Amino acid sequence: MAGGRKLEFDKQLALEAAMRVFWQKGYLGASLSDLTSSMGINKPSMYSTFGNKEKLFLQATEYYVEHYAKSHLTCLSLPDTDLRTRLKAFLSSVINAQFESSNPKGCYVTLCMTEAAGGDMPEAARELISEAAGFFPGLLEDLFKQDKEAISSGLNKNAKSNALTLATLLSGTAAMARSNCDQADLQPVIDNTLNGIGL
Separation CA 165–CA 137 (nearest Å): 9
> For residue 8, what pLDDT band results from cuts at 50, 70 and 90?
very low
- Rounded to an integer, the average pLDDT of 137-144 is 97
Cβ–Cβ contacts within 10 Å for residue 113, how many? 18
- Rounded to an integer, the average pLDDT of 90-115 is 94
Sign of CA dihedral 30, 32, 33, 37: positive
Above 50 in pLDDT, residue 9? no
What is the per-residue pLDDT for 5? 45
Above 50 in pLDDT, residue 1? no
Q: Average pLDDT over the chain, rounded to whole? A: 92
What is the per-residue pLDDT for 116? 87
- Measured between alpha carbons, how far is residue 60 from residues 11, 12, 72, 101, 102 in Å? 11, 10, 18, 20, 18
pLDDT tens by residue, 23-82: 999 999 999 999 999 999 999 999 999 999 999 999 999 999 999 999 999 999 999 999
Above 50 in pLDDT, residue 3? no
- Rounded to an integer, the average pLDDT of 158-183 is 95
- Rounded to an integer, the average pLDDT of 118-130 is 91
